[in-house]
Structure 1
Amino acid sequence: MAKLIIVVDKAQDWAPFHQYDGVMTLPAYLKWSAKNKQRTRVINLCRQSQYLGSGYYCSLLAEARGHHVVPSVRAFNKFNRHEIADIAEEIPGTILTQLNKALVDETNTQLIFNIYFGETEHKALKKVASYLFDAFSVPILRVELQKKVSWQVKTLKIGSVHKLNEHEQSLFGNTLERYSHKIWRVEPTNRKYKYDLAVLVDPKEKFPPCTPKSLELFNKAAKRAAMDTEQIGVRDIHRLAEFDGLFIRETTGVNHHTFHMALKAEREGLAVIDDPNSILRCGNKVYLQTLFEQHKVPMPDGIMLFKQDEDNLERAADTLGLPLVLKIPDGSFSRGVVKVKTLTELRSQLTALFEQSAIILAQRYTFTEYDWRIGILNGTPIFACKYFMARNHWQIYKHGKAKTESGGFSTCAITEVPAHVLDTAIRACAPIGDSLYGVDIKQDGDKVYVIEVNDNPNIDDGVEDLYLGNKLYDMLVEDFIRRIELKR
């Protein structure tokens, strides 16, 4: 768990709030940080936000020490260079629409309010406040709205804690407590756990990458290694700074909150699995196709089809033959993947898929009774399974209107996997990163083909852990601790 430090210009600036031994003046913080090497979170409440003022220096020196600080130097520079003058042009239309809907009954033409760590007392402006905090991450953001034809953001300023009235002090204190979560809790000297890990899950997800039982087994392994775990959801994004690491156990996507959570966690200095680069690279089959071509990783013959090209039909059929497989770039769990047997099917499916993506990947069809799934962690194989095709189907998953069926599986020791399969799995992950991956490979005699690399592979009790048991979870925990220690 990170140590939270609050830096103020004068001790009396903190007088209205709860006493906390982490509140320091800038000179005291610099002396403290010179002696302490633990992971540190700094909230900079210094009064002077201008270039080379005390607030600017606080953030500058905090970043030099490797501490995560709010506001960052970059945030200060946005205000000092007057980049916010054109803020109305930068705000997405969806946010401006939300702003005008929220204030549709407002009779005044001017509204001034504060945003505290992304929150405001104006409930209707919740989404606007959250967006502005992400764009201009300062503890107190003073916002002036003006209505001409429609509502627009007129000015943004960095607010000062010493200028807050009693009501505003109460709002600020309550918001800071939620933002920091553990700020008022005094850590016991005999603290049981050395590390804190957030596990992102969605209890309502239909096909989660972990069963409840496997999450429980992971939690037990973490506690054996002095790591505390807490399951969090999308609404806990502002709590990430409380933790040392983030383990995403929810199906990821680039245009999804999991990607934004990974990005924020990485910015906060957490060890992250799945890291944002892995999500970005594994989340698009067109990207992987190009990457594998560059690094000579074996894969099924494939071509990219573009929506605007008129010769897609002939080019795909002539190059790959029929049947062939069409894939939208970001499909998962066999969704967005179709097999076509005739030119009529090819024409129909291309028309439908081009409604979802400007590029479709076409690949040569190769039938196998099963796909290898090789789990790779930090470049090392940790589990191996054979996933068999669903009954009377050519894929592992068969999606019906009422239910989804899947084929069987067989888990084996890494030593039982053919050497060229393991070698190909490792080679496929090397240009992507050092995170946790699940590599899907088809084996046709001596030939192997990488179908895809998953950044968020399933680890289910009784399946992927069937051979190693608890040891698999111990390996995951050990690697998280290694990553956390490297961050420190």
Structure 2
Amino acid sequence: MTWVILTGRQNDIDQVATPHKIITNRDYLAHPALFRGQRPKVINLSNNYGYQSRGYYASLLAGSRGHRVIPTVETMIDLSERKLYEHALPELELALNKCRKDLGGFPAKVAIFFGIGPSKVWDRFAKLLFDWFRAPALEVHIKDSAEWASIRKIGFLPLARMTEDEEEFFLQCLDTYTNREWRDTKGRTPARYTFATLVDPHEELPPSEISSLRYWARIAEKMGVEVEPITRKDLAKLANYDALFIRETTSISNHTYRFARRAQQEGMPVIDDPLSMIRCTNKVYLNELMTYNKVPVPPTVMIAGTSDFEVAAQTLGFPLVLKIPDSSFSRGVKKCENMAELTKLATEWLDDSDLLIAQKFIPTEYDWRVGVLGGQPLFAVHYLMAKKHWQIVNHKASGKPDQGGIKTFTLKQTPPHVVETAVKAAKCIGDGLYGVDLKETKDGVFVIEVNDNPNLDHGWEDSGEKDELWVRLTQWFLERLERPDK
């Protein structure tokens, strides 16, 4: 692994642990072939990150050269004005004020280096700040009062403005940051790339079983890729890897979104990316997006209050399907047989969500699931309904889910209009990996939802296309690593 440290002047840093390569941003800009054939990690310590400055261009061109750099130009822009980062302040201020008991009070400003604060008391806040803004050195200006500390400003702290003590501590943090991310490769065949796979070994319905990920790892190894499982505890070492594949059930309110966002900040190819998560996890948004793009969906009514109950009943008839916008694995999706059931369930759910959606019930013995990767079909299967149930997963009162079976097809065996509709729906979301659920009826094909975290299991989703599925998954990541503009 090559670390490249860019400085504004030749002697800005004179004592950094080897094997770091230290050059000026001027030399980095002037010699685009310096690290050809390598994928170094670049730490940009320029004294000025202003728009169109050398520091700005160094990070901008690092991206075009396939180098992973901090800070990125996006971070530079985010921190250029308070209004561009004020959305992060509530969470940051909450973490900051949790330090009050141990600190007693707050200084007017504090320096945070690579997510490390001046003492352990600052750990929670410093790590969160680094999650939001991946920058080597940040200075946070604090306004303290008797009960609450607020953040006045977040800005970069260049080397030229550091005190002697701050510079000494910064160099220690730099050494810690670069050294903690080395992997132990003893006894392993060196791979071109290493992909992190985020898993939860205890998840009841994971999108991929551990055995399936091991199967993928054997195929990826032949392509020069090492696949390594990580868990939610490994966020700090994520930058050690070249790409991230999330194989936990995703939610924008838990750690999976944090991992996706961190990977994106590091310039790593990631499935699922944060924007896909945001788009796919909300069924209200999906319905509006599909309708706008003329993708066929079941007749739908949005419910915002009790006055919409009658509208849904008159428009859709009974039975109808009521859905909470943010739900997964058939949870938060119920069938209402009559007005009394609709009124009771919708009233209960509106206590937790300002919007619900009701859709026409379309009875089928199976749902089509078409996997789409990078805008191209990847696999096609029938997910059969659970026994004596109208969904593919029946969440019983006992807590144990009952899943229906699966029937596999090759893509050539799959009706072209099913594949075409699925691809059109997935392209509305993005360029990643999606599982499109469709119902095929005499009136046509209807998209039920687009999932950002589709199941991929050996012997199931790959039964039609065999190992080609895993090869294409690996290639998707490789293309984006070797062609950053992809």
Structure 1 residues 9 and 216 mapped into 2: Cα distance closer, same or farther (>3 Å)?
same
Out of 288, 292, 302, the position equivalent to 1:304 is 302
Tell me the distance in 2 between the aligned counterparts of 1:408 and 1:44: 52
Q: Deviation at 1:59?
A: 3.7
Tell me the distance in 2 between the aligned counterparts of 1:74 and 1:420: 40
Tell me the distance in 2 between the aligned counterparts of 1:415 and 1:435: 22
Question: Secondary structure of the residue that 1:330 maps to in structure 2?
Answer: coil
Indicate yes or no: 2:413 matched with 1:416.
Answer: yes
Which deviates more from structure 2 when the two are superposed, residues 113-122 or residues 102-111?
Answer: 102-111
Q: How many residues align?
A: 475
Q: Please tell me whether the aligned partners of residues 78 and 85 of structure 2 are also in contact (alpha carbons under 8 angstroms).
A: no
Q: Deviation at 1:302?
A: 1.1
Structure 1 residues 476 and 153 mapped into 2: Cα distance closer, same or farther (>3 Å)?
closer
Extract unaligned runs of 5+ from structure 2. Answer: none
> Which residue is 2:430 aligned to?
433
> Which residue is 2:332 aligned to?
336
Q: Deviation at 1:51?
A: 5.3
Q: Deviation at 1:319?
A: 0.5
Tell me the distance in 1 between the aligned counterparts of 2:143 and 2:314: 61
Q: Deviation at 1:117?
A: 0.8
> Which residue is 1:197 aligned to?
195
Indicate yes or no: 2:272 matched with 1:266.
Answer: no
Which deviates more from structure 2 when the two are superposed, residues 421-430 or residues 220-229?
Answer: 421-430
Tell me the distance in 2 between the aligned counterparts of 1:351 and 1:376: 36
Which deviates more from structure 2 when the two are superposed, residues 317-326 or residues 405-414?
Answer: 405-414
Q: Please tell me whether the aligned partners of residues 44 and 59 of structure 1 are also in contact (alpha carbons under 8 angstroms).
A: no
Aligned AA for 1:355?
A: D
Aligned AA for 2:336?
A: V
Q: Please tell me whether the aligned partners of residues 117 and 176 of structure 1 are also in contact (alpha carbons under 8 angstroms).
A: yes
Deviations 1:200-258 (A, max 9, x none): 22223221100011100111111110112222233434444433322121212233332
Which deviates more from structure 2 when the two are superposed, residues 349-358 or residues 193-202?
Answer: 193-202
Extract unaligned runs of 5+ from structure 1. Answer: none
> Which residue is 1:391 aligned to?
387
Structure 1 residues 255 and 28 mapped into 2: Cα distance closer, same or farther (>3 Å)?
same
> Which residue is 1:103 aligned to?
100
So what's the TM-score if we normalise by structure 1? Answer: 0.86
Tell me the distance in 1 between the aligned counterparts of 2:273 and 2:77: 27
> Which residue is 1:172 aligned to?
173
Once the two structures are superposed, the pairs formed by residues 82-481 of structure 1 within 5 Å of their partners are: 83=81, 92-107=89-104, 110=107, 113-143=110-140, 145=142, 147-150=144-147, 151-153=149-151, 158=157, 160=159, 163-165=163-165, 168=169, 171-177=172-178, 181-182=181-182, 192-307=190-305, 310-402=306-398, 403-445=400-442, 447-481=444-478
Indicate yes or no: 2:480 matched with 1:483.
Answer: yes
> Which residue is 2:25 aligned to?
26
Tell me the distance in 2 between the aligned counterparts of 1:315 and 1:294: 21
Aligned AA for 1:358?
A: D
Q: Deviation at 1:364?
A: 0.8
Tell me the distance in 2 between the aligned counterparts of 1:216 and 1:426: 28
Question: Secondary structure of the residue that 1:457 maps to in structure 2?
Answer: coil
Q: Deviation at 1:349?
A: 0.6
Q: Deviation at 1:178?
A: 5.1
Indicate yes or no: 2:61 matched with 1:60.
Answer: no
Q: Please tell me whether the aligned partners of residues 193 and 226 of structure 2 are also in contact (alpha carbons under 8 angstroms).
A: yes
Aligned AA for 1:24?
A: I
- Aligned-residue CA RMSD in angstroms? 3.3
Q: Please tell me whether the aligned partners of residues 142 and 159 of structure 1 are also in contact (alpha carbons under 8 angstroms).
A: no
Q: Deviation at 1:52?
A: 9.0
Tell me the distance in 2 between the aligned counterparts of 1:77 and 1:285: 32
> Which residue is 1:7 aligned to?
6
Q: Please tell me whether the aligned partners of residues 114 and 130 of structure 2 are also in contact (alpha carbons under 8 angstroms).
A: yes
Structure 1 residues 197 and 405 mapped into 2: Cα distance closer, same or farther (>3 Å)?
same
Q: Please tell me whether the aligned partners of residues 371 and 440 of structure 1 are also in contact (alpha carbons under 8 angstroms).
A: yes
Tell me the distance in 2 between the aligned counterparts of 1:198 and 1:313: 46
Q: Deviation at 1:360?
A: 0.8
Structure 1 residues 318 and 175 mapped into 2: Cα distance closer, same or farther (>3 Å)?
same
Q: Deviation at 1:417?
A: 2.0
Structure 1 residues 89 and 170 mapped into 2: Cα distance closer, same or farther (>3 Å)?
closer
Structure 1 residues 125 and 104 mapped into 2: Cα distance closer, same or farther (>3 Å)?
same
Structure 1 residues 456 and 98 mapped into 2: Cα distance closer, same or farther (>3 Å)?
closer
Q: Deviation at 1:449?
A: 1.7
Deviations 1:159-200 (A, max 9, x none): 538745497257414432356x139x999xx98322232222
Tell me the distance in 2 between the aligned counterparts of 1:419 and 1:50: 51
Structure 1 residues 42 and 164 mapped into 2: Cα distance closer, same or farther (>3 Å)?
farther
Q: Please tell me whether the aligned partners of residues 299 and 449 of structure 1 are also in contact (alpha carbons under 8 angstroms).
A: yes
Q: Please tell me whether the aligned partners of residues 59 and 71 of structure 1 are also in contact (alpha carbons under 8 angstroms).
A: no
Q: Please tell me whether the aligned partners of residues 199 and 231 of structure 2 are also in contact (alpha carbons under 8 angstroms).
A: yes
Q: Give the share of equivalent positions with the same residue, in percent.
A: 36
Question: Secondary structure of the residue that 1:440 maps to in structure 2?
Answer: strand
